[in-house]
Structure 1
Amino acid sequence: MIDLLATRGYFLVAFLLMGVGTYMLIGSPNLIKKVIGMNVFQTGIFLFFITSAFVEGASPPLLSAPEPYVSPLPHVLILTAIVVGVSLTAVALGLIVRIYDEYGSLRESEIREVAADE
């Protein structure tokens, strides 16, 4: 087990990032901190996919490349996911600005109280 963690420490870091992001999403009542937690969770997922695509001793997939070679598909998927993540963050922050203008708070409990009174 120790050898696995010593050679594959990036998996531990990826799962740690996912855990911290999940904790921030669930545990924080502030909407901005939830968006930050979502971004930390996404970073953990990105790290996991990129590091799991690594092949020891492999080369880029060129026409004359010897076997084994590294598949570019995970890297392309992560580039697309980064663009989607940035767009999602921008939309979430825009909605949070509108929520703050409407309710005057970023805490979930206060927003629920104001919404229940209306």
Structure 2
Amino acid sequence: MELVVSLGIGVLAGSGVWLLMRPRTFQVIIGLSLLGYAVNLFIFSTGVLRSGAAAILSPGEVGSIDRYADPLPQALVLTAIVIGFATTALMLVVLLAARGLTRSDHVDGREPER
């Protein structure tokens, strides 16, 4: 399972970096989103998930830290998802405004010379 998660993180990060190098602004925004998803998946994987474990303690039961998942990475990823969604929406609005003003969707604002 660790290999699958590691490969997923690597593919998302590699695709995000590759899209960041593209000349069009929409591709750059998608690359930033993919890179953000890779970081979220990495942070989420640092908190160990326990399958089949109870979420809360039974009455009279003494809890042990090794039987439960760490809630901090889950809270961080949830917050990062919300912030990433808002940032992506803001970048798309700025992209549409810049495209309307410059009549181009290139990062530097002009078409490449041929």
1:29–1:60: structure 2 CA closer, same or farther, 3 Å change rule? farther
- Quick check: 1:22 aligned with 2:17? yes
Of 1, 6, 10, the match for 2:5: 10
What amino acid sits opposite 2:7 in the alignment? L
Partner of 1:50: 44
Structure 2, unmatched stretches of 5+, are none
Answer whether contact 2:47 2:69 (CA < 8 A) is retained. Answer: yes
The structure whose RCO (Cα within 8 Å, separation 6+) is larger is: 2
Q: How far has the Cα of 1:53 moved from its partner?
A: 1.3
Name the TM-score, length of structure 2 as normaliser.
0.79
Separation in structure 2 between the aligned mates of residue 44 and residue 98 of structure 1, nearest angstrom: 28
More helix by share: 1
Residue 8 of structure 1 aligns to a residue in which SS?
Answer: helix
1:7–1:92: structure 2 CA closer, same or farther, 3 Å change rule? closer
Aligned length: 106
What amino acid sits opposite 1:33 in the alignment? Q
RMSD: 2.3
Q: How far has the Cα of 1:45 moved from its partner?
A: 1.1
